[in-house]
Amino acid sequence: MTAVTTPLLSVRNLRVHFKLDKKTTFEAVKGISFDVPRNSTVALVGESGSGKSVSSLAVMGLLPPLTSIIDPQSSILFDGRELLRTSVAERRRLCGKEISMIFQEPMSSLNPVFTVGFQIGEVLRQHMGMNAKQARARTLELLDEVGIPDPTAKIDTYPSQMSGGQQQRVMIAMAIACEPKLLIADEPTTALDVTIQKQIMELIARLQKKHQMSVLFITHDLGLVSEIADRVIVMRHGEVREEGAAAQVLEQPEDSYTKALLHCRPPLDARPIRLPVIDDYMQGRALPQGERQRGYTADDDTVLVVRNLAKSFYVREGLFGKREFGAVKDVSFTLPRGKTLGVVGESGSGKTTVGLTLLRLHQATGGTAMFEGRDLISMKDAEYQPYKRRIQIIFQNPYASLNPRFTVGQILLEPMRIHRIGADDREREQTAMQLLERVGLPAQAFHRYPHEFSGGQRQRIAIARCLTMKPEILVCDESVSALDVSVQAQVLNLLQDLQDEFGLSYIFISHDLSVVRYMSDQVMVMHHGEVVEMGNADEIYTNPQHPYTKTLLAAIPGRAN
């Protein structure tokens, strides 16, 4: 007789409501049930607002007590214990030692005023009863285990002194410090470089096997879980749409929503005229047939010529000394009208610095950028003023780039007033409303504030703000890297429509080569501030020459190495 193994985590009929005001509630999770078996990895997949993160916070007991309501009939069994009926003290003990969580944004989760060694050691002192010496020794072991170089030096550094990938490794070290039975990873690789993303995924898989943990891996990208998950649960609007073995769900999905998630990401072997979005699949809408042609040609009308662009920063050394750090070194390229130059590379490669230097948000230390026969780099501020409107940027982080004190309407109207676009405010408001519609937001958004929108919606507001200026060159700095794959497809389609309609030229900065290949006519690969390879997008993708380019391509999720 075969023994039946009970799952480590068993969620039954979980319903979570949030209070919007004294009379109104919103049901974020609608009676979902799922299991996480022992020593296995389960992926919880869905778009923002699907309820996946709320479900994980309910397991951890981290939902806000004053605004959230869990249905009394709900059940969360962990290792035979009902978490929703345990005391606060017991829940706190469990959720620090036996259940751990890696949060999405390490810079928001790590305390900036304490060293990483102190923060990891605090977990060990609190839950394992270690003294300072023991905690420090164990912290060094953990930093080494998660792949932090030179742990002896890094243990006394602050989070701000580490890269995004290293910060996330510190979060993982904290999460596994007490060797938990269940590790919840909430979007642990969002917005990380594709190579770092692959390293983090491999690290979690390795730690899961080494420590015999169960992992609940939360993501919006189905392609990302193909190499790590045993089972996949697909959620939408607070409900489970499909569940099954990873191979079954990823290769033979049954639900139309699952199929849509799989096809929203730009394919690796084609460039369709238009990327499918969720509604296309849900409503059975036909898409245009054929492929979009890309590449520079001899007949292209060049709008921007950059030669030998350089940017250095200076780091203080000692009391009076300083050291030069070359962030951008001798970068040259051309940008034709109506075309897209993709710029790829890891964090620290200099790709964002190139964009900021072209917009004079950094002062170049060398080189020229010729726009209509004028050098944008050398001209005086007063001369450059008329060009500000014509060259715009979409920043990576919409949370930081939108003024929280302004309504969306004010955010869109302000640049039009400054640059005197439109005859009066009535005409400007009409333009703003049209742009909100173009980026997929309702007219009611005009009177709301940025904090009332999701990350993807805020990025669309940022794009609409740029479009109010009617620019000729748009620098897209990782503008879709943190978006759901379905929202990413919408934004990429929008950018392509705008380019077709207005002849916009894009400098498309990203670490994701699959997205860059779809959008770009030519690709420039940067490493340590230098251009290591450049060519038409298809040539770079099918026949990369530089080892670094090959490394980037090999790290694309779902790509066979």
Q: How far apart are CA 85 and CA 106, in angstroms?
A: 30
Which residues in 136-171 are b (16+ Cβ under 10 Å) and which e? bebbbebbebbbbeebeebbeeebeebebbbbbbbb
- Tokens 């742990």 belong to 151
> How many Cβ atoms are within 10 Å of 19's Cβ, its own excluded?
14
Strands (E) located in 412-466? none
pLDDT of residue 136: 96
Which residues are within 8 A (CB) of 470 and not within 5 positions of it... i.e. 6 or more apart?
389, 421, 502
Which candidate, 276, 368, 376, 362, places its Cα nearest to that of 326? Answer: 362
pLDDT of residue 4: 54
In a domain, 46, yes or no: no
Terminal-residue alpha carbon distance, the chain: 43
Q: Both 363 and 485 in a single domain?
A: yes
Q: Both 312 and 459 in a single domain?
A: no
- Of 435, 470, 505, which residue sits at a domain end? 470
Cβ atoms of residues 488 and 222 within 8 Å: no
Q: Both 496 and 425 in a single domain?
A: no
- The DSSP element (H or E) to which 173 belongs, if any, is helix 164-176
113: phi then psi, degrees, rounded to nearest 5: -100, 0
In a domain, 418, yes or no: yes
Q: Both 422 and 540 in a single domain?
A: no
Q: How far apart are CA 140 and CA 136, in angstroms?
A: 6
Cα 257 to Cα 115, 280, 283, 284, 435: the distances in Å are 44, 10, 10, 11, 28
- Of 455, 470, 485, which residue sits at a domain end? 470
> How many Cβ atoms are within 10 Å of 300's Cβ, its own excluded?
15
Q: Classify 45 as helix, strand or coil.
A: strand
Domain that holds residue 346: 302-390+471-554
Q: Both 454 and 306 in a single domain?
A: no
Q: How many structural domains is the chain composed of?
A: 2
Q: List pLDDT tens digits, range 55-65.
A: 999 999 999 98
Q: Both 487 and 459 in a single domain?
A: no
In a domain, 114, yes or no: no
Q: How far apart are CA 551 and CA 456, in angstroms?
A: 29
Tell me, what CATH number does 358's domain have?
Answer: 3.40.50.300
Q: How far apart are CA 456 and CA 466, in angstroms?
A: 16
Structure tokens, 184? 């919840």
Structure tokens, 158? 């602050």
In a domain, 322, yes or no: yes
Q: Both 407 and 444 in a single domain?
A: yes
Cα 246 to Cα 40, 218, 227, 538: the distances in Å are 12, 14, 9, 31
In a domain, 310, yes or no: yes
Q: Which residues pair with 315 in a beta bridge?
A: 323
Cβ atoms of residues 335 and 304 within 8 Å: yes
pLDDT of residue 235: 95
Q: Both 519 and 370 in a single domain?
A: yes
pLDDT of residue 559: 56
Q: Both 420 and 348 in a single domain?
A: no
Q: Which residues pair with 186 in a beta bridge?
A: 218
**CA quadruple 294, 296, 300, 303: dihedral positive or negative?**
positive
In a domain, 266, yes or no: no
pLDDT of residue 2: 47
Q: Both 443 and 417 in a single domain?
A: yes
Which candidate, 217, 232, 128, 120, places its Cα nearest to that of 166? Answer: 120
Q: Which segments of the chain have a pLDDT < 50?
A: 1-2, 560-561
- Of 470, 486, 510, which residue sits at a domain end? 470
Which candidate, 356, 366, 378, 369, places its Cα nearest to that of 326? Answer: 366
Q: Both 546 and 476 in a single domain?
A: yes
pLDDT of residue 142: 94
Q: How far apart are CA 195 and CA 182, in angstroms?
A: 26
Region label for 521, one of left (φ > 0), alpha (ψ between -120 and 50) or beta (otherwise): alpha
Q: Both 442 and 479 in a single domain?
A: no
- Tokens 């890696």 belong to 102
* Global pTM value: 0.84
Q: How far apart are CA 389 and CA 59, in angstroms?
A: 49
Q: Which residues pair with 34 in a beta bridge?
A: 11
Q: How far apart are CA 240 and CA 33, in angstroms?
A: 8
In a domain, 48, yes or no: no
Cβ atoms of residues 538 and 294 within 8 Å: yes
Q: List pLDDT tens digits, range 261-306.
A: 888 888 877 888 888 888 888 887 887 888 888 889 888 999 999 9
Write down the H helix ranges in 177-286: 194-211, 246-251, 256-264, 278-282
In a domain, 152, yes or no: no
Q: How far apart are CA 543 and CA 529, in angstroms?
A: 23
> How many Cβ atoms are within 10 Å of 388's Cβ, its own excluded?
16
Which candidate, 432, 429, 487, 485, places its Cα nearest to that of 458? Answer: 487
- 3-state secondary structure string, 295-353? CCCCCCCEEEEEEEEEEEEEEEECCCEEEEEEEEEEEEEEEECCCEEEEECCCCCCHHH
